[in-house]
Amino acid sequence: MIGKRYLLTGGTSGLGEAMVLELVSRGAFVTVIGRSEEKLAALRAAYPERLDVIKADLNEPHEVERIRHLLTVNQPIFDGLINNAGFGYFKSFMSHTPEDIHDIINVNLTQTLQLTHMVIPYLRENSSIVNISSQAARVTTPYSAIYAASKAGLSSFSNALRMEHPDLHVMTVQTGPIATSFFSRADESGTYEGLTKKLQIDRYQLAQEIIDGILTKTLEINRPRWMHMSLTLYNLFPRLIEQQLERAFMSKSFDSE
């Protein structure tokens, strides 16, 4: 991986930051897209020879277009794109504002697809596109419907893109809860984070597995394994299992409409 160049979104915290550290430790060069000027500056100061940054909010179309302009002017060549930026809220559908709905779909799906569309011409043959999705894409998720819908769309996109571009390596990462600050935004009450504390995946271990997956051209990473196996069974009998395990499915139902 020494000398390889990757473009990564949402790289200033959580899993994204862990992947940046993993890539840099293996000798790769990383261009990080993020919103926080302060966090981007700290990353660049820590790895001045291995990292550059683009400050952009993927929820703002004009800032995404600025990325397009930078690509056109600089004509970079990448060995991979890692689409990691994303967020969601754990509350009922009707508790989401119209702005919530727009922003979640826009960041998690629409602008991710737009960025992929503009970056593919700058990828070497056999480069990797990694889409960080969620196990929520595979299961009925009440009180997280918008987030789940955006991730289901992203997983479906990954599968289609893989078949359209056999010259590229497309990997989908679908995980359960990860030990990051995601929950502080998704559920300010801290209830869900408390319920899943013992189940949360270590972000550094997951980052290592994702980068290993790039090297081995893995097509999917589903973690934790027990959740993936359970959801594979669920997909055979979804309505029956929803009825039998209704309480578990309603684990995010702690908001007030």
Residue 257 pLDDT exceeds 60? no
Confidence of residue 195 (pLDDT cuts 50, 70, 90): low
pTM, 2 dp: 0.90
Q: What's the pLDDT score for residue 68?
A: 96
Interval 198-216 mean pLDDT: 95
Q: What's the pLDDT score for residue 255?
A: 61
Q: What's the pLDDT score for residue 190?
A: 73
Q: What's the pLDDT score for residue 99?
A: 98
Interval 32-56 mean pLDDT: 95
Which of the residues are catalytic? 147
Residue 153 pLDDT exceeds 90? yes
Interval 232-242 mean pLDDT: 88
Which pLDDT tens digit goes with each residue over 70-109?
999 999 999 999 999 999 999 999 999 999 999 999 999 9
- Give DSSP secondary structure letters for the chain: -TT-EEEEES-SSHHHHHHHHHHHHTT-EEEEEES-HHHHHHHHHH-TTTEEEEE--TT-HHHHHHHHHHHHHH---EEEEEE-------S-GGGS-HHHHHHHHIIIIIHHHHHHHHHGGGEEEEEEEEEE--GGGGS--TT-HHHHHHHHHHHHHHHHHHHH-TTSEEEEEEES-BSSTHHHHH-TT-HHHHHHGGGPBPHHHHHHHHHHHHHHT-SEEEESHHHHHHHHHHTTSHHHHHHHTHHHHTTT-----
